[in-house]
Chains A and B, each alone.
Chain A
Amino acid sequence: MNFDQEQIFPLLESASEAQLDAAPFGIVRMDKSGLVTGYNAAEAALSGLSPERVIGKHFFSDVAPCTNNYLVAQRVETEDSLDAMVDYVFTLRMKPTPVVLRLLKSPARDRMYLLVQRRMP
């Protein structure tokens, strides 16, 4: 799997946990209300948070409150269908780190994904 691959949604949906963990970019799987149901190894390494700490929590308000604004959280909440790249900054261990977010949402599916990849500033 590549971060910017087309038609990535079906691949993510059918991937096993091992396949998700093997991806070289961060993958956050959520239900439609924003509760985290999957958190892959790359994302855990990037954020320093273990999956156990994150799963079952609300991503935008509890896990990554820095995304709780109109650039990210509001888009995910208000748009029904979404496959968008957003340049963003995560403060990983208090260090501002440029990232690209890929937001995936579809009315046909019960799960949403947020993919995270570091980028050059």
Chain B
Amino acid sequence: MSDSAVALREENERLLRFLYEAPVGLMLVRRDGSIELSNTAVVRLLLPIARRPALENLFEVFEDAAPELRNMMFAYVPASGLVCDQYRILYPRQKSSPPDLVLTATIYRLEPDAFMVTLLDTTKTVRYELQLHRSQQRMQALFENVRDYAIYTTDKAGLLDDWNRSLGRLTGYQREDAIGRHVGMLCVEEESAPAVIAPLLQRASREGSAEVEGWRVRRDGSRFWADTLVAPLRDLEGEVDGYAFITRDISERRREEENLRTAASTDFLTGAYNRRHLEAAGLREFAAHRASGKPLSVVMLDIDHFKRVNDTWGHDAGDKVLVALAGLVSSAIRGADVFARMGGEEFVVVLPGTPVEGAVALAEKLRLMIKALSIGVEGSEIRFTSSFGVSAAGEVASFESLLQYADEALYAAKSAGRDRVCAYRPAGR
């Protein structure tokens, strides 16, 4: 053999081995499916699934798993070109998951009667995809179906990068309102968002999670009291590249807590504060008066001859009278004033920042309003009057004394004939 013939044979063998040992299945297939050429990877991949130990015809090998290959090749009109690109063939064909084997076939027509077929074992990839898909489905089911929660994510800068129904349900925002906007849009004031959100995200990154409670705004402007948990999302290198948020609407719980607080501090019948709250509030206001020197006064009032109302009309009528009076006083005082029922038919109004003259004026106003009040009971009208005692903090030692002086003034008003206002005059003045 000549040197060149030897060289050619060696080159030929090198090429052959190159194709032969390629880790991808390589085949040359005729239009009728007969396998003209194939490398070792084809045997390794196809023999275990072939019906009989022969690799003569591709259509026969794929008769169960991918009978459509025959049609795909038959129906392909151009004389050359891509018949299919990365076409997946699953074993078993039924959609059992995960599949035992997944082959990915690419078929290229070289000439009218010659197709190059490549086969790749993509079982692992597809199983991984399935796993990923399933966990995504699970997350999505959670995202879409949780009630009273919103689960959402942002990028590193806190911009919303995903929208889901839970977010829509809780906040009223639609996809187009939310994507790309700063997560602070869920805060009450847009301008306060950076001050709230940035430290929150920093804390979450540092400590693994962070929680914040506060008002949030819905798209329609209505507010809800929310509890938000933030956790950092990390990339493959472990760097924070986003955040996951879980926001809960806990308005209802907060309302219940408030109701409980209210129940502990109010008089059940009239809705005025109870004596316990009066004492606490009184001490606070007295301390504030001491600290600031601002005036502080107290009006104590008592319904005249209330016993007669009860005796004549019954206790239900008496209750009606108490409720009506409480409603009237509540509507006549300022937000800072503290209105409380001492017990029985006796009430107190604590007036921070009001000097004795103002307190007397208020008492006089209330006296006239109460006198003008008429309450319908069983077709009759109940009318009644009340007496008032006023005291003011000057040289008074304590809130308790202030109440006591108002009580003395009230006694004086009663003694003087009722339906009047008396102010306490310290002895020697």
Q: Is the CB of B54 within 8 A of A67?
A: no
Q: Is the CB of B56 within 8 A of A67?
A: no
Q: Is the CB of A88 within 8 A of B47?
A: yes
Residue numbers in A under 8 Å from B55 (CB-CB): 89, 96
Instruction: Judge whether A98 is part of the interface by a CB distance below 8 angstroms.
Output: yes
Q: Is the CB of A91 within 8 A of B53?
A: no
Q: Is the CB of A69 within 8 A of B38?
A: no
Q: Is the CB of B47 within 8 A of A65?
A: no
**Bound complex: CA A64 to CA B44 (Å):** 10
Residue numbers in B under 8 Å from A95 (CB-CB): 36-38
Residue numbers in B under 8 Å from A69 (CB-CB): 44-45, 47-48
Q: Is the CB of A89 within 8 A of B21?
A: no
**Bound complex: CA A69 to CA B47 (Å):** 9
Partner of B43, one of A48, A66, A93, A121: A66
Instruction: Judge whether B16 is part of the interface by a CB distance below 8 angstroms.
Output: yes
Partner of A67, one of B37, B38, B44: B44
A94-B20, A98-B54 given; A70·B44 CB < 8 A: no
A66-B44, A71-B48, A88-B47 given; A93·B16 CB < 8 A: yes
Residue numbers in A under 8 Å from B44 (CB-CB): 65-69
Q: Is the CB of B54 within 8 A of A94?
A: no
Instruction: Judge whether A3 is part of the interface by a CB distance below 8 angstroms.
Output: no
Instruction: Judge whether B39 is part of the interface by a CB distance below 8 angstroms.
Output: yes
Closest chain A CB from B182 CB (angstroms): 56
A69-B48, A70-B48 given; A90·B43 CB < 8 A: yes
Instruction: Judge whether B251 is part of the interface by a CB distance below 8 angstroms.
Output: no
Residue numbers in A under 8 Å from B41 (CB-CB): 65-66
Instruction: Judge whether B330 is part of the interface by a CB distance below 8 angstroms.
Output: no
**Bound complex: CA A68 to CA B44 (Å):** 6
- Docked complex: B28-85 residues within 8 A CB-CB of A: 35-45, 47-48, 52-56
Instruction: Judge whether A17 is part of the interface by a CB distance below 8 angstroms.
Output: no
- What is the interface of chain A mostly: helix, strand, loop, or mixed? mixed
Closest chain A CB from B91 CB (angstroms): 13
Instruction: Judge whether B116 is part of the interface by a CB distance below 8 angstroms.
Output: no
Closest chain B CB from A119 CB (angstroms): 9
Instruction: Judge whether B244 is part of the interface by a CB distance below 8 angstroms.
Output: no
Select from chain B the residue with minimum beta-carbon distance to A94.
B37
Closest chain A CB from B328 CB (angstroms): 93
Instruction: Judge whether A87 is part of the interface by a CB distance below 8 angstroms.
Output: yes
Instruction: Judge whether B120 is part of the interface by a CB distance below 8 angstroms.
Output: no
Partner of A94, one of B39, B45, B48, B52: B39
Residue numbers in B under 8 Å from A67 (CB-CB): 43-44
Instruction: Judge whether B324 is part of the interface by a CB distance below 8 angstroms.
Output: no
- Docked complex: B182-197 residues within 8 A CB-CB of A: none
Q: Is the CB of B53 within 8 A of A94?
A: no
A96-B56, A98-B54, A121-B54 given; A91·B39 CB < 8 A: yes
Closest chain A CB from B102 CB (angstroms): 15
Instruction: Judge whether B19 is part of the interface by a CB distance below 8 angstroms.
Output: yes
Q: Is the CB of A89 within 8 A of B16?
A: no
**Bound complex: CA A48 to CA B13 (Å):** 9
Residue numbers in A under 8 Å from B43 (CB-CB): 66-67, 88-91, 96
Residue numbers in B under 8 Å from A96 (CB-CB): 35, 37-38, 42-43, 54-56
**Bound complex: CA A88 to CA B48 (Å):** 10
A91-B42, A94-B38, A95-B37 given; A71·B47 CB < 8 A: yes
Interface centre among B19, B36, B54 (most CB of A within 10 A): B54
Q: Is the CB of B40 within 8 A of A89?
A: no
Residue numbers in B under 8 Å from A88 (CB-CB): 43, 47, 53
**Bound complex: CA A93 to CA B43 (Å):** 13
**Bound complex: CA A68 to CA B35 (Å):** 21
Q: Is the CB of A94 within 8 A of B19?
A: yes
Partner of B47, one of A48, A89, A121: A89
- Docked complex: B158-204 residues within 8 A CB-CB of A: none
**Bound complex: CA A90 to CA B35 (Å):** 13
Residue numbers in B under 8 Å from A94 (CB-CB): 16, 19-20, 37-39
Select from chain A the residue with minimum beta-carbon distance to B19.
A94
Shortest beta-carbon contacts, A-B, top 9? A66-B40, A87-B53, A66-B43, A94-B37, A96-B55, A89-B55, A65-B40, A69-B44, A66-B44
Chain A interfacial positions (CB closer than 8 Å to B): 48, 64-71, 86-91, 93-96, 98, 121
List 5 extra interface pairs beyond A69-B44, A91-B37, CB under 8 A: A66-B42, A69-B45, A89-B54, A95-B37, A98-B53
Chain B interfacial positions (CB closer than 8 Å to A): 13, 16, 19-21, 35-45, 47-48, 52-56
A-B contact pairs, 27 of them (CB 8 A): A48-B13, A65-B21, A65-B44, A66-B39, A66-B44, A67-B43, A67-B44, A69-B44, A69-B47, A89-B47, A89-B54, A89-B55, A91-B20, A91-B38, A91-B40, A91-B42, A91-B43, A94-B39, A95-B38, A96-B35, A96-B38, A96-B42, A96-B54, A96-B55, A96-B56, A98-B53, A98-B54
